[in-house]
Amino acid sequence: EENGTYFSVDEALNIMTRHKEMPNGIAVLDSGGNVGCFLMRVAGMFPTLTDIALIGIDCGYPEGTPYEDTVYYRKLMNKYGHEKTVGMMRYHDNGIFKGFTDPIFEIYRTRFIDFSKLMRAKVVNCSMQGTLFADHLKCIPFQEWLAQK
């Protein structure tokens, strides 16, 4: 709050963050909104790193998971109702894993995939589950990835 005026999060970040109009602001690293994206960004700061294997990062739920057992379903359902909430779910199938994301995990998934495109290192999902896959982001078993090293 400044002089009785409240700032939105975006306005506050714009005021605090270093940029052309605010050269003395705080340096910020876009974290993608989740710890997996943040750690991948930190790993990307090491120029000699050539490969990143993801283990245990799924950004989704296995097919057949009851919606009621997902992290954000109840909050979404309370706000939008069951039918609209179910309509927000996005299904993903890479031939190995079938699963879905709720709207929040879909944002995390999208940001993670976008960040992985920016990496100098090759990013591979060794979890063999979850929704983190794309043309440039392959899924292979961890043992197979290790054998290639």
pLDDT of residue 57: 85
pLDDT digits 0-9 by tens, 96-107:
889 999 988 898
- Under the banding of pLDDT at 50, 70 and 90, the label for residue 26 is low
pLDDT of residue 76: 92
pLDDT of residue 18: 64
Say if CB 113 and CB 137 are below 8 A apart: yes
pLDDT at residue 4 above 60? Answer: no
Higher-pLDDT residue of 116 and 31 is 116
Tell me the three state secondary structure of residue 27. Answer: coil
**How far apart are alpha carbons 19 and 28 in whole angstroms?**
10
**Looking at the whole model, is its pTM more than 0.85?**
no
The residue-averaged pLDDT of 17-44 equals 73
- Tell me whether strands 122-125 and 51-54 are parallel, antiparallel or unpaired: parallel
Q: Residue type for 45, please? A: M
pLDDT at residue 1 above 60? Answer: no
Higher-pLDDT residue of 4 and 37 is 37
pLDDT of residue 69: 94
Tell me the three state secondary structure of residue 91. Answer: strand
- Under the banding of pLDDT at 50, 70 and 90, the label for residue 61 is very high
- Kindly state the helix (H) or strand (E) to which residue 75 belongs, with its residue range: helix 73-80
